[in-house]
Structure 1
Amino acid sequence: MRIEKNVELLPTIKTAGVILRPSSPELKKTFDEIKKLFEYSNIEILLENNSANMIGLEGLSLEELCKKVDFLISVGGDGTLLSVVRKSFKYDKPVLGINLGTLGFLTDISMEQLPKFIEDLKNNIYKIDNRMMVEGSVNLNKFVAFNDIVISRKSISSMIKIKGKIDGKSFNTYYGDGVIISTPTGSTAYNLSVGGPIVYPLTEAFIVTPVAPHSLTQRPLVMPADFEIEFKIMDNQGAVVIVDGQDIYEIEQNQSIKIKIANKKAKMLHRIQRNYFEVLNEKLRWGN
C-alpha cells in the first residue's frame, strides 16, 4: 500500500497505555490478549490504575500513564472512548479505540482486526485524525467536550427558554426541551437522534440543534467554529448542562454558558482503510 506524504505519524511506537471500560471485570481476558498481541510486536503495555484495580492488577494514574506512553488504547465502546479522550486531552496523546460495543462510530478496531492493525502500525500504515474539541464554562466550572454539550430543562413538566448569542450579539431564543451544541464528531450522536445534520468529522463547525422546539420554525444551525457562542437561561427553574453525556452542571436563571473551539484538537488513531462514509453506510444501514 502506498503511504501518502506529509501525513502525521507517531514519533515513536514503543509504549501504549490501556484504559478499560469501567465496571467490566470480565475484560481481564481481553486485556491479557491485547497485552500479548502488542508485546509480541515489542510494544510495551501499561495499564491505567482504575482499570488495573478492576481486574486485580497494578497500574498507573492517568497522568503518569500519559507521560510514559506514545499513545492510548480505549477498550470498550464509544462512551469509554469519549471519557478517555476528554480526560487525556491536555496530554495530547492519540487514542486508539477498540470496539467491544455495538454501534461504534468512534471505535473502529475490533479484536479480530487488531493483529493486522498492529502490523500496519509498526509499518506506519495508519492515520491520525485531528478532531475538533470545544471548551465551555458554566459559572466558574470549565470543561472540554468531544461530542456535545446539552442544555436541558430541569423539570419534565415544563419547557425551557434559552437566549442565544454569537460573539455577543443575539441570534435566537429557543423555547422547548433544550438545545444541543454539537461538534462534527458528535453530529452522529444525540444531535442525529433529534433530526440534526450529519457533518463530516474533520470539519470545524458548531451544530446548534433545538430539542423538541415549541415552534416548527426553529431549525438546526451549522456555523463556523471561530465564533464564541453564549446561551443565557431565561427560565426561573434554571437548567442542567450535560457534557458528553457524562458530566452534569446546574445553571440558574440569568446565568450563561459560553462555548468556543478549543485551542488544540483531539487525536484519533485509525486504520488507513477506514472510510467515514462506509461507516455511515454500515451503521445507519443506508440503502437497506
Structure 2
Amino acid sequence: MTAGFVLKPKDTIKLKETFLKIKKVFESRNIEVLIDSVSAKAIGLLGVEFNDMCEAADFLVALGGDGTLISLARRSYKFNKPILGINAGNLGFLTDINPDNIEEFIDKFLKGEYRIDERMVIEVEYKDKKLYAFNDIVISKEVISSMIHIRVDTNESYLNTYYGDGLIVSTPTGSTAYNLSAGGPVVYPLTEGFVLTPICPHSLTQRPLILPSNFVLEIEVKENFAKLVIDGQEIYNLDEKIKVKKALNPAKLIHRVERNYFDVLRKKLHWGDGK
C-alpha cells in the first residue's frame, strides 16, 4: 500500500518533524510513503512530481488544515483517489485526524475500520478548460466602487440576474465557508445540490437559493471587470459565459468511523454554548 503526502505550503518547514513521525508510523506498518516534490524540497527531502505521486498512491494525505485538503482534492480530482486529512492546527471541518492519534487510526484503517464520505464537486467549463471546485466558485467584481450584473440560466429556464458585489455557488461541503459568511445556509455535506448566495445584493429580495445537483447553470457577467475564484485559491479573469454542473465523480474523504459532523459544527460554530 502506498500513501502520497502533501504538506501545508505556509507551514511546511514547521511540519517536517510531524511528517517524519507519521512517515515512520506508516512505514512500520508496511505503507510506502511518497511526498510531492514541492513539499519535499521545502524540508530538504527528495520527492515525487505531484501527478506521478497521485498515480502511484493508493490514497492521498493532506497534512495541514482544511485549505490543504481542499487544494489537494481539487488538484488530484482526475486521479479519483481517497484523501485522508491529518489536522496540524485547530480542529477543521474536514481534517479530523490528530497527529498524536495517527497510530491508533492507522491500525484501525488497516483493519478496514474507517469510512469514506463522498462529497459533491463542482465542474466549471470556462473557455477550453474544465475547472473543479471542492468548496465553491465565486463570481466577484474587481472594481471596489462598482457592482456587477450576473445572469444565471438553468437547463430548465432563466433563473435570475443578480446585481451586487458577486455570487457564490457552493457545494454542501462549502456551505460552511464563504457561503456562511455571506448569510447562506448550512447544508449537510453528504447531500447534493448547489447553494447560490448573492454577495451584498443591491436588492434585499435577492436571497440564498438551493438547487438540485442535476441542474446545469450558465452564468454570464455583463461587465468586463469580473473575477472567477475557485475555492478561494485560483483566480481567473471572467470575460465570457461559464457553465457550472455537478462533476461526474465525487471527492472521497477518509474519516474515523466515530466522526460526527454535528459534533464538529457545535465546536466550530459554538452551537449550544448557552445550554
Q: Distance in 2 between matches of 1:44 and 1:131?
A: 27
Q: Which residue of 2 aligns with 1:156?
A: 144
Matching of residue 246 in structure 1 with residue 233 in structure 2: yes
Q: Over aligned residues, Cα RMSD in angstroms?
A: 1.1
Q: Secondary structure at the match of 1:118?
A: helix
SS at match of 2:108: helix
Q: Does 1:66 align with 2:51?
A: no
Work out whether residues 213 and 246 of structure 2, in 8 Å CA contact, stay in contact via their aligned partners in 1.
yes
Match of 1:6 in 2: none
One of 41, 54, 72 as aligned partner of 2:29: 41
Matched, 1:263 2:248: yes
The 2-side partners of 1:32 and 1:112 are apart by 13
Unpaired runs of at least 5, structure 1: 1-13
Q: Map 1:160-199 onto structure 2 (within 5 A).
A: 160-167=148-155, 169-199=157-187
The alignment partner of 1:26 has SS state of coil
- Corresponding position: 1:27 with 2:20: no
Native 8 Å contact 2:143 2:225 kept in 1: no
Q: Which residue of 2 aligns with 1:118?
A: 106
Percent identity over the alignment is 53
Structure 1 residue 278 corresponds to structure 2 residue 263? yes
Partner residue of 1:223 out of 211, 214, 220: 211
Map of 1:3 onto structure 2: none
Task: Decide which moves more: 113-122 or 206-215.
Answer: 113-122
Question: What is the letter of the counterpart of residue 167 of structure 1?
Answer: N
Query: Is the CA contact (8 Å cut-off) linking 1:180 and 1:210 kept in structure 2?
Result: yes
> How far 1:103 moved relative to its partner?
4.7
Shift of 1:59: 1.0
In structure 2, the partner of 1:141 is: 129
1:104 and 2:92 matched: yes
Matched position secondary structure for 1:279: helix
Shift of 1:66: 1.6
AA aligned to 2:249 is: K
Equivalent pairs counted in the alignment come to 272
Q: Distance in 1 between matches of 2:182 and 2:44?
A: 41
Question: Which runs of 5 or more residues in structure 2 are unaligned?
Answer: none
Residue by residue, what CA displacement relative to the aligned partner does 1:143-170 show, whole Å, maximum 9, x if unpaired?
Answer: 0110000000010111111111011621
CA distance in 2, matches of 1:210, 1:91: 33
State the alpha-carbon separation in 2 of the partners of residues 212 and 284 from structure 1.
22
- Residue of 84, 87, 90 corresponding to 2:72: 84
Residues 40-49 or 119-128, more deviating? 40-49
Q: Which runs of 4+ in 1 moved over 3 A?
A: none
Aligned-pair distance for 1:238? 2.8
Q: 8 Å contact 1:138–1:249 — kept in the other structure?
A: no
Q: Secondary structure at the match of 2:45?
A: coil
